[in-house]
Chain A
Amino acid sequence: MNDDLKTLTIERIHQGLLARRFSAVELTREALRAAEAENEKYGAFLHFCPERALAAAEQVDRRMAQGEPLGALAGAPVAVKDVIVTKGVKTTCASRLLEHYVPPYDATAVIRLEGAGGIILGKTNCDEFAMGSSTENSAFYPVRNPAAPDRVPGGSSGGSAAAVGAGLAVVALGSDTGGSIRQPASFCGVVGVLPTYGRVSRYGLVAFASSLDHIGPFGRTVKDAAVMLGVIAGRDPADSTSAEAPVPVYAAELDGKVAGFRVGVPREYFGPGLDGEVGSRIQRGLEVLRRLGCEIRKVSLPHTDYAIASYYIICTAEASSNLARYDGVRYTIRSEEAPTLIDMYRQTRGRGFGAEVKRRIILGTYVLSAGYYDAYYLKAQKVRALVARDFTDAFSAVDVIITPVSPFPPFKLGEKASDPLEMYLSDIYTITGSLAGICGVSVPCGQTAAGLPIGMQMLANHFEEGRLLRLAHAFEQAGGFQV
């Protein structure tokens, strides 16, 4: 095979298959070989599923031989975050507690991507139960940033972002609750999409915080991410929160005009705490958008400063409830020496969960407990409404909002691991959009002088993914990724 895996796109795979330069099975064998060989360097994957991958590839080749049209993802090597269930393939959530768990069903997003000819190579590393911003909370091993191996890839979907960034997969699925797709995309120099809440079915996504959880795609190009989103989006009877709204052909909307787009820049996102190099690259990125004919306007999102406190109360409350199911009865691991049922629950959970997961369960249980519910949980939900209203107001004046993704470039492994609150505070620019349930994308926006990737966040109102991805694509075509 002459095609370089690291620069392949969905479209080039399509062309390669049609021109018979390679078969889906040949491409899959090569992709598996390369990913397995290089994984030691990055730790991006937790495990591979070669049998499932080759069976899916054979199916693509068989269909082509029968003259059937190729699916939108035909032959594309895909990495799937290990919080998304795969039938017959281990799904660990990077937790000791689910180390041996083999789900009896597939997530809807998994069924859809394989239905479109996508080839799942394996499952990717992440923070345990998607709780973290650096992937250092994986119970198994950390992930190294492909752009700087001594640094974190971001989190919690760090393995998916690193797999795409390192060229071990062409596209990937991640999950985003407070920034877990956008922030690792920015750290690894790839594109990551937060779809509108309800746009993509959550069926088969292991629940962390149900009112905030999303599945979304990673790609090296906006187009690849857009194609992947189009495949996984849409109503699913198995998820009652999935939206009825029709799914546009996102890839077909990319080439429209962006001149005249009203682009808002919220002043609350460019204050103290923002790294100077990150800020100056975002300003250069804004210049690119201006040259494309966008009209740059100042906007205000006045409740930004309260978003982190609101988010960490709501997400931990929901997590404490969602994680109650891991009790040693159904999910493979049980503390055997406990004499009574209640001790069995307590010891299984105490030993099975990692430090950050336990911290969040305790915080979440506390804010829901009698006497504190109104002061913390209800208050946080009210502030969430105000954060969401900020966006509603801003989107009456602008089409898209531009912000940094992370206040700083990728940091060193271990550098921030000792202070949980400091790690929480680093989610400031991504959490607001999560609370509002709007859509967003992180696109590469140059590098620091030391060569560390920087990401720009573009946010748009509910179900405006088409417009959002069109702007992201125009930015990419105008050289914005390399400003």
Chain B
Amino acid sequence: MKITEKEVRYVADLANLALTEEEIQRYRSDLDEILAYAEKLNEVDTSRVEPMAQVLYEGDAAAVERVDQVAAGVSSDLALANAPQSGAGQFKVPKVFDR
């Protein structure tokens, strides 16, 4: 077995995902199959290979820099328009501290 039920609960916790008992069973078995398949990567000798994190091209080092200019952004009204709860120009969330 590649992954235990306990590990699925732990990972779901890290990912802030509430799962039902049924989902935990199902994902344990799905991940088990997928991770067993991924074992085949160990057949490849990568001891002299640099990891590829990004598709990079030969380019000017300054290519990603832009002129530092003030530009109009999204207004706070517009930014808050999709919030489930907002007020006083802020996003509202359930309280974090008891007073």
Could you tell me which A residues sit within 8 Å of B by CB distance? 100-102, 104-105, 197-198, 211, 237, 240-241, 243-245, 303, 305-306, 308-310, 312-313, 320, 324, 327-334, 338-347, 349-351, 353, 355, 358-359, 361-363, 365-366, 369, 376, 378-386, 388, 420-421, 424, 436-437, 462
Q: Is the CB of B37 within 8 A of A309?
A: yes
Of B33, B34, B95, the most chain A CB neighbours within 10 A belong to B34
Chain A contacts for B84, CB-based, 8 A: 328-329, 332-334
Q: Is the CB of A331 within 8 A of B66?
A: no
Q: Is the CB of A359 within 8 A of B49?
A: no
Beyond A369-B10, A421-B33, 4 additional contacts (C-beta under 8 Å) are A237-B66, A306-B41, A366-B7, A382-B46
Binding site of A, secondary structure by majority: helix, strand, loop or mixed? helix
- Cα of A366 to Cα of B46 in the assembled complex, Å: 22
- Residues in B28-70 with C-beta less than 8 Å from chain A: 30-31, 33-35, 37-38, 40-44, 46, 49-55, 57, 59-60, 63-64, 66
Tell me the total A-B contact number using a CB cutoff of 8 A. Answer: 164
Contact flag A385-B55 (CB < 8 Å), given A310-B41, A346-B17, A365-B14: no
Pick from A105, A320, A342, A343: contact of B74, CB under 8 Å:
A105
Chain B contacts for A341, CB-based, 8 A: 93-96
CB distance from B85 to the nearest CB of A (A): 7
Chain A contacts for B54, CB-based, 8 A: 211, 241
Binary contact readout B69-85 vs A (1 if CB under 8 angstroms, 0 otherwise) = 00000100011011111
Closest 8 CB pairs of A and B: A437-B55, A350-B18, A381-B51, A334-B84, A382-B46, A385-B52, A346-B18, A197-B55
Q: Which residue of B lies closest to A377 (CB)?
A: B51
Q: Is the CB of A350 within 8 A of B94?
A: no
Q: Is the CB of B44 within 8 A of A306?
A: yes
Interchain Cβ contacts under 8 Å between A and B, 15 examples: A100-B82, A104-B79, A244-B63, A309-B37, A312-B38, A313-B41, A327-B16, A329-B93, A343-B94, A349-B16, A362-B11, A362-B15, A362-B17, A369-B11, A381-B52
Q: Is the CB of A330 within 8 A of B91?
A: yes
Q: Is the CB of A383 within 8 A of B18?
A: no
Q: Is the CB of B64 within 8 A of A359?
A: no
- Cα of A332 to Cα of B80 in the assembled complex, Å: 10
CB distance from A246 to the nearest CB of B (A): 13
B5 lies within 8 A of chain A by Cβ: no
Chain A contacts for B16, CB-based, 8 A: 324, 327, 342, 345-346, 349
Q: Is the CB of B83 within 8 A of A385?
A: no
- Cα of A150 to Cα of B1 in the assembled complex, Å: 38
Q: Is the CB of B38 within 8 A of A384?
A: no
Interface size (B, Cβ < 8 Å)?
A: 54
Contact flag A382-B51 (CB < 8 Å), given A244-B59, A309-B37, A309-B38: yes
- Cα of A380 to Cα of B41 in the assembled complex, Å: 7
Chain A contacts for B93, CB-based, 8 A: 329, 341, 344
Pick from A211, A347, A379, A382: contact of B18, CB under 8 Å:
A347
Q: Is the CB of A376 within 8 A of B17?
A: no
Q: Which residue of B lies closest to A382 (CB)?
A: B46
CB distance from A24 to the nearest CB of B (A): 29
Chain B contacts for A327, CB-based, 8 A: 16
- Cα of A210 to Cα of B95 in the assembled complex, Å: 33
- Cα of A344 to Cα of B8 in the assembled complex, Å: 20
Q: Is the CB of A379 within 8 A of B91?
A: no
- Cα of A378 to Cα of B54 in the assembled complex, Å: 13
Q: Is the CB of A424 within 8 A of B57?
A: no
Q: Is the CB of A198 within 8 A of B46?
A: no
Q: Is the CB of B34 within 8 A of A330?
A: no
Q: Is the CB of A361 within 8 A of B17?
A: yes
Pick from B27, B41, B74, B95: contact of A383, CB under 8 Å:
B41
Q: Is the CB of B11 within 8 A of A366?
A: yes
Chain A contacts for B79, CB-based, 8 A: 104
Q: Is the CB of B34 within 8 A of A363?
A: yes
Chain A contacts for B81, CB-based, 8 A: 102, 104
Chain B contacts for A378, CB-based, 8 A: 51
Chain B contacts for A347, CB-based, 8 A: 18
Q: Which residue of A lies closest to B59 (CB)?
A: A244
Q: Which residue of B lies closest to A344 (CB)?
A: B94
Chain B contacts for A382, CB-based, 8 A: 44, 46, 49-52
Q: Is the CB of A338 within 8 A of B94?
A: yes
Q: Which residue of B lies closest to A98 (CB)?
A: B82
Q: Which residue of A lies closest to B92 (CB)?
A: A329
Q: Is the CB of B41 within 8 A of A309?
A: yes
Q: Which residue of A lies closest to B19 (CB)?
A: A350
CB distance from B78 to the nearest CB of A (A): 4
- Cα of A424 to Cα of B91 in the assembled complex, Å: 38
CB distance from A370 to the nearest CB of B (A): 10
Q: Is the CB of A329 within 8 A of B82?
A: no
Chain A contacts for B46, CB-based, 8 A: 379, 382-383, 386
CB distance from A398 to the nearest CB of B (A): 20
Q: Which residue of B lies closest to A366 (CB)?
A: B11
Chain B contacts for A351, CB-based, 8 A: 18
Chain B contacts for A350, CB-based, 8 A: 17-20
CB distance from B95 to the nearest CB of A (A): 8
CB distance from A452 to the nearest CB of B (A): 28
Q: Is the CB of B11 within 8 A of A305?
A: no
